[in-house]
Amino acid sequence: MRSHFLNIVKYSFVSILFLGLSFFCLFHFGFLNNFSNISFDKTKLCYANTQIELFNNKNEAIQSNTNLVKNITYNSIPKNLINAFISIEDKSFFNHNGINYKRMLSASLKNIFSLKLKEGASTISQQLIKNTHLTNNKTFKRKINEILLAKKMEQLLTKEEILTSYLNAIYFGSGAFGINQASQRYFSKEIEDLNLSECATLAGIIKSPKKYSPILNYDNSIKRRNIVLKEMLKDNKINKEEYEKAIKEDINLNINKNFLGNNTYYSACIDEACNILKITEKDLLLKKYKIYTYKDDSLQDILENEINNYNKYTTNNCDCCALSIDSKTGGINAFYGKSDYELINLKRQPGSVLKPIIAYSPALENNIISPVTPILDEKINISGYSPSNYKNKYYGWISAKESLSKSLNIPSIKILNYVGIDKAKLFANKLGINFDKKDNGYSIALGGLTNGLTIKEITNAYQCFSNNGKFIPAGFIKEIKNKDGKTIYCHNSTARQVIKNSTAFLITDMLRDTVVNGTSKKLNLQNTYIAAKTGTVGVLNNKENKNSDAWNISYTKENVLGIWFGSTNNLYLDKTITGGNAPTVLAQSIYKQTNLGKNNDFDVPDSVTEVDLNLLEYTNNQKVLLADANTPDRYKFKSFFANTNIPKEKSDMFDTIDKFEIKANMKDNEVRLFFKAKKHLWYEIKKQTEDNVETIAIVSNKNEDICIYDKNIKQGNFYTYFVVAHYNDILGKENFNTQTSNFVKIFSA
């Protein structure tokens, strides 16, 4: 109770002090003018000819094309647009002198009773001053400056000039400054062509451009538009019939696809700068910051040209974007997208591009698997979870490397099970991947997440593989300086070793196989060393088997390239669009125009060793055993291992030949011999009589049950049969081991 009383006293004091200072400002204007260190500047009333200063990786200015930025005149503003802003923002605009005393008092009383400083009571004149001369800092000094400058502006400009400047300067979200940009951004219209619903929508946005954006929050935008329309009805600016018709309309977005603030490198940098400094885009402009970026103009031009012509990769009118990261600095050196919506922060299901991060890499890191670990690809059911491979195709025993190359689902789930979900998620956290608390099922092995990932997050995770296990959080911005040239932010490009370099190399070697033999084989370019993973996300419960997302994440020693195709309007992609075609072909075209990966193979670290393994033990018995010195070359194969995970057991297959037996019987006046052959051996089938031993057959390269017929027999004789086994490919070696079977004696009656 005492605490509540103290809060009332505190907020009452604050509000009364605010009122006192405000009225003191009004009635003693000349004295308080000395309090302000900011003077009114008419040239600041519009952003049309200004832009935030950005620089590329060579410290050259990045120009933002402003072909949609132009000032409007008062006579071009439709009546409904004027009335919408007046009704929702400042009903007495044409009657006050810059300050609404009554509204200010009412707001202060509401602050007292709500115990919050949430009512601002700003007039359109004050808003214009705040948005062009001041920051958003909630201080008394800023409020006094706002009041003083608003009063001064009212003395120098007409109401029509103030309202026109206000509409030219106000921020409407999604990169749109001024009513002309907003009209083009959301509706592709000149302002004189806006209808009543559209006017009310634009007027509703400015209270909170993100919250009420018809692009980002459609339902909120509808509710806010209807509030504006209701106020216009109250003010007799529209009649009941117009009101009823307008509130029943949808917001018919017709987003200008040529809007330059949409999915450009420039706009992504502005968004990042605002997040870094925790200020608005308007404050970023007013404070005259200089922003130095990692932008590579040449690579950026290639991305833009290819994506602007992306229809050659697909017949679908889908969304598309690409992002490139310099592996050694973590700097995003190119980004571009085509969509009605902002893509840089859009979370989408990653599908199979998450498999190397959530399953294979943590298993390699913990020596649970090697690239050649055999995994049985089969239909499974884990606690009721029964996933399947693409087209329900299963391969039986398959290596971890090949299963990743083919992007099989079952092996990925089994490997995640070997690692453990919690342990795998902790590993992925090191690569910048975060999970929702609901992400606790085996579906994460297939990239099924509650919230999804942004293209920046998933591409940056692969940067760790490109950079020998070192991780750098990716960023567009290298450095930010204030107007005095002082550095106030610097991107930390110091790489941290978050996983073993052996893990990074082994996953790279596996993903190289994906390029050479697997789903990314369109990236198998001559003298170019690229590792890559594709991902395709199908639409659940969709009988047409359409897809929602298609990915290709690829990397070289120098760079990582992430490409996404998808649909943000729920029309979905045709089932023919998968990670292995459209995004991979786009990546191919980009690589062909650069030197990335050219003649620059991935280095094998000292922590990795390539060893010879016994092929026959592997293919026949699913055993990973070292080849011994006697193993013929044709029965060896090579694989990389982390030094801590090299197989310790050596095959003795070629030291001795296992004993084996033959069986024989007599039927239809012929002898039949039976034995089991092995592919790495060749066999001499021998027949012995009283005075002779002869070879009646030779068997080689067989791994099956053998039946040999001997018809050359005479009645009343005894015959002895046996088989001598030899190693293939090592004929002529003296004293090399052979193995003779048992002897079987047959009497021909």
Same domain, 205 and 327: no
At residue 545, does pLDDT exceed 60? yes
pLDDT tier at 736, thresholds 50, 70, 90: low
Same domain, 622 and 477: no
Asked if the structure places residue 60 within a domain, the reply is no
Asked if the structure places residue 366 within a domain, the reply is yes
Which residues contact residue 629 at a Cβ distance below 8 angstroms, ignoring those fewer than 6 apart?
Answer: none
Same domain, 440 and 314: yes
Helix segments in 593-672, DSSP class H: 615-621
Whether 124 contacts 162, CB under 8 Å: yes
- Where in the sequence is the domain holding 505, given as residue range(s)? 301-592
Q: Percent helix, strand, coil in the chain (nearest 5)?
A: 40, 20, 40
Range scoring the smallest mean pLDDT among 255-269, 286-300, 406-420, 579-593: 255-269
Helix segments in 235-280, DSSP class H: 240-247, 265-277
Same domain, 24 and 172: yes
Asked if the structure places residue 79 within a domain, the reply is yes
- β-pairing verdict for 718-727 and 681-688: antiparallel
Q: What CATH number is associated with residue 674? A: 2.60.40.10
Q: What is the pLDDT of residues 16-49, one digit of tens each?
A: 555 555 554 444 444 455 555 678 888 777 654 4
Which token pair is 115? 């115990």
Same domain, 209 and 310: no
Provide the angle, in degrees to the nearest 10, between the axes of the packed helices 409-419 and 421-430.
Answer: 90
Asked if the structure places residue 620 within a domain, the reply is yes
Rounded CA-CA distance 35/149 in Å is: 12
Asked if the structure places residue 292 within a domain, the reply is no
User: How many angstroms separate the Cα of 414 from the Cα of each of 365, 389, 427, 478, 516?
Assistant: 16, 13, 17, 41, 24
User: Which pairs count as long-range contacts for 244-251, CB under 8 Å and 24+ apart, including other chains?
Assistant: 246/196, 246/197, 246/200, 249/197, 250/222, 251/197, 251/198, 251/201, 251/214, 251/218, 251/221, 251/222, 251/225
Whether 529 contacts 512, CB under 8 Å: yes
Same domain, 629 and 683: no
Rounded CA-CA distance 416/445 in Å is: 6
Which token pair is 511? 């993903």
Extended strands (E) in 294-338: 319-326, 332-338
Q: Who has greater pLDDT, 197 or 390?
A: 197
Same domain, 677 and 567: no
Rounded CA-CA distance 685/146 in Å is: 105
Same domain, 583 and 725: no
| Stated pTM of the model | 0.79
Count the neighbouring beta carbons within 10 Å of the beta carbon of residue 94.
Answer: 12
Asked if the structure places residue 268 within a domain, the reply is no
Same domain, 232 and 324: no
The amino acid at 319: D
Asked if the structure places residue 705 within a domain, the reply is yes
Same domain, 347 and 469: yes
Helix segments in 309-360, DSSP class H: 355
Give the H or E element holding residue 282.
helix 281-286
Same domain, 418 and 473: yes
Please report where in the chains the tokens 């018709």 appear, as a residue: 245
Q: What is the pLDDT of residues 411-423, one digit of tens each?
A: 999 999 999 999 9
- Structural domain total, the chain: 4
Rounded CA-CA distance 698/362 in Å is: 49
What pLDDT is recorded for position 390?
A: 85
At residue 730, does pLDDT exceed 60? no
Same domain, 621 and 685: no
Which token pair is 711? 């018809």
What pLDDT is recorded for position 384?
A: 86
Chain center to CA of 353: 9
pLDDT tier at 170, thresholds 50, 70, 90: confident
Q: What is the pLDDT of residues 308-320, one digit of tens each?
A: 887 776 766 788 9
Whether 439 contacts 449, CB under 8 Å: yes
Mean pLDDT over 654-678 rounds to 90
What pLDDT is recorded for position 31?
A: 45
Q: What CATH number is associated with residue 459? A: 3.40.710.10
Q: What CATH number is associated with residue 258? A: 1.10.3810.10
What pLDDT is recorded for position 195?
A: 96
pLDDT tier at 105, thresholds 50, 70, 90: low
What pLDDT is recorded for position 367?
A: 98
Q: What is the pLDDT of residues 426-479, one digit of tens each?
A: 999 999 999 999 999 999 999 999 999 999 999 999 999 999 999 999 999 999
Which residues contact residue 49 at a Cβ distance below 8 angstroms, ignoring those fewer than 6 apart?
Answer: none
Half-sphere exposure of 561 (CA within 13 A, CB side): 29
Asked if the structure places residue 720 within a domain, the reply is yes
Rounded CA-CA distance 550/573 in Å is: 9
The share of the chain scoring above pLDDT 90, in percent, equals: 63
What pLDDT is recorded for position 120?
A: 53
Rounded CA-CA distance 703/701 in Å is: 7
